[in-house]
């Protein structure tokens, strides 16, 4: 008889997207079948301290039940992490980690690297795909090399800005112009992003973005709809139908996404057949270029003239009540939330088993 799988849902973290991670964790924990898995919530505080919660056997009412303050016995971040590795993961039975940390220190390959070293299977993308997909500049450079259309962009490093502020503005006005968007290179959920229509707004936006990262990206505005597709799989990925949020024009900021409470999903998005197929081809191409595994949400701009621009990829998309990724699969093939979780766990185990076949020592011929 097979042993029941211990699933450790890791959430929170040192990220500006901490609160979004809690919402995702609440949904994942509540929808996970407790008859199939031993489910263990693992909370990482805003200061990076790992906190182990008891095995979950009931539904949670709110995200407040997922947060717990660190105590003196937890020590520092390294000690608390080591405590989790040596106590919880050393217990008998098979283990798997389900990361639902959005943003830095969870979605950017850092957590994935630690789990690779610990030889623990985990849901989602590996180190390379996570790191490259999180860094908007690196992501765009990879896609540019493959000929995937994107809006014009420039990167800016903090030390360049501090030394040549006026010259940087002059150069950006020549190459990108207005309106434009200023974004931290390594963040999501529209945090740290501002739209600029003139130099005064550009100066404020750059200063704001550098609060979240040492590298930022400035992009030319693409006037059009934002359309999203979901990709699922390992070596043979499949793509969902396209979806979009029916909303008023303008910047889709954090408040509109998570707090306004008036988002309406439109699935499938209203697109001509040729556009639907081209979006699907670009989404699968982007997934393979990053060597994706498990899941990825890929976002595009589609103009009124039918032009397509790949905006960004999300290597750990949200699973909140208004998140697009699970909704896209439900509308594509009827996959329920619980079934989607099962598929992701299965893909994680499949990828881990593939890695275990790799030989790391020298073999004499």
pLDDT tens, residue by residue, 99-150? 999 988 889 999 999 999 999 999 999 999 999 999 999 999 999 999 999 9
| Mean pLDDT, residues 144-161 taken together | 96
pTM of model > 0.95: no
> What pLDDT digit, counting tens, does each position of 30-39 carry?
999 999 999 9
pLDDT score of 280 more than 80:
yes
What pLDDT is recorded for position 238? 98
Q: Any idea which residue has 């008036």 for tokens?
A: 262
Confidence of residue 260 (pLDDT cuts 50, 70, 90): very low
pLDDT (average), residues 185-213: 89
Summary mean pLDDT of the chain: 91
Count of CB atoms within 10 A of residue 173's CB? 14
Spacing of C-alpha 151 from chain mean position? 21
Hey, what domains does the chain have and what are their CATH numbers? 5-122 (3.40.50.20), 152-220 (3.30.1490.20), 225-349 (3.30.470.20)
Q: Classify residue 63 as exposed, middle or buried by CB count within 10 Å of its CB (0-12, 13-18, 19+).
A: middle
In three-state form (DSSP H/G/I as H, E/B as E, the rest C), the secondary structure along the chain is CCCCEEEEEEEECCCCCHHHHHHHHHHHHHHCCCCCEEEEEEEECCCCCEEECCCECCCCCCHHHHCCCCCHHHCCHHHHHHHHHHHHCCCCCCEEEEECCCCCCCCCCHHHHHHHHHCCCECCCCHHHHHHHHCHHHHHHHHHHCCCCCCCEEEEEHHHHHHCHHHHHHHHHHHCCCCEEEEECCCCCCCCCEEECCHHHHHHHHHHHCCCCCEEEEEECCCCEEEEEEEEECCCCEECCCEEEECCCCCCCHHHHHCCCCCEEECCCCCCHHHHHHHHHHHHHHHHHCCCCEEEEEEEEECCCCCEEEEEEECCCCCCCCCHHHHHHHHHHCCCHHHHHHHHHHHHHHHHHHHHCCCCCCCCC
Number of Cβ within 10 Å of residue 171's Cβ equals: 15
pLDDT tens column, 306-362: 999 999 999 999 898 889 999 999 999 999 999 999 999 999 999 999 998 888 777
Question: What is the pLDDT, as a whole number, of residue 258?
Answer: 47
Report phi then psi at 44, rounded to 5. -105, 120
Q: Distances in Å between the alpha carbon of 152 and those of 216, 220, 222, 350?
A: 14, 6, 9, 38
Mean pLDDT of 94-100: 96
pLDDT score recorded for residue 30 = 96
* Residues 100, 11 contacting (CB under 8 angstroms): yes
> In the beta sheet, which residues pair with residue 233?
294
Cβ neighbours around 73 below 10 Å, total: 8
Of 94, 77, 103, 134, residue with least CA distance to 24: 103
């Amino acid at each position: 008889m097979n042993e029941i799988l211990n699933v450790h849902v890791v959430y929170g973290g040192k990220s500006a997207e901490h609160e979004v991670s809690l919402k995702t964790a609440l949904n994942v924990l509540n929808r996970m079948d407790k008859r199939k898995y031993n489910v263990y919530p693992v909370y990482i505080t805003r200061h990076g301290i790992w906190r182990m919660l008891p095995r979950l056997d009931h539904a949670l009412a709110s995200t407040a039940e997922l947060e717990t303050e660190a105590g003196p016995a937890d020590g520092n971040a390294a000690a608390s992490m080591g405590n989790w590795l040596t106590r919880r993961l050393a217990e008998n039975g098979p283990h798997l980690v389900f990361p639902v940390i959005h943003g830095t220190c969870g979605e950017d390959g850092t957590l994935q690297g630690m789990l690779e070293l610990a030889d623990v299977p985990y849901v989602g993308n590996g180190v390379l795909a996570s790191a490259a997909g999180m860094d908007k500049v690196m992501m765009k450079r990879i896609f540019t090399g493959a000929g995937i259309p994107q809006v014009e962009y420039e990167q800016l490093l903090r030390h360049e800005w501090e030394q040549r502020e006026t010259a940087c503005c002059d150069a950006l006005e020549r190459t990108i112009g207005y309106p434009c968007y200023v974004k931290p290179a390594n963040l999501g959920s529209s945090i740290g992003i501002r739209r600029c229509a003139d130099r005064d707004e550009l100066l404020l936006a750059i200063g704001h973005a550098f609060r979240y990262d040492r590298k930022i990206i400035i992009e030319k505005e693409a006037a059009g709809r934002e359309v999203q597709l979901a990709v699922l799989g390992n070596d043979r990925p499949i793509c969902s139908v396209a979806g979009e949020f029916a909303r008023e024009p303008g910047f889709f900021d954090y408040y509109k996404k998570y707090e306004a409470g008036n988002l309406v999903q439109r699935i499938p998005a209203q697109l001509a057949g040729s556009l639907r197929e081209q979006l699907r081809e670009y989404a699968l191409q982007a997934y393979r270029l990053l060597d994706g595994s498990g899941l990825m949400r890929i976002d595009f701009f589609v103009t009124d003239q039918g032009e397509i621009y790949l905006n960004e990829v999300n290597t750990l998309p949200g699973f909140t009540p208004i998140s697009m990724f699970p909704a896209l699969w439900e509308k594509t093939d009827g996959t329920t939330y619980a079934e989607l979780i099962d598929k992701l766990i299965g893909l994680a185990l499949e990828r881990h088993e593939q890695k275990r076949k790799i030989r790391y020592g020298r073999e004499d011929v």
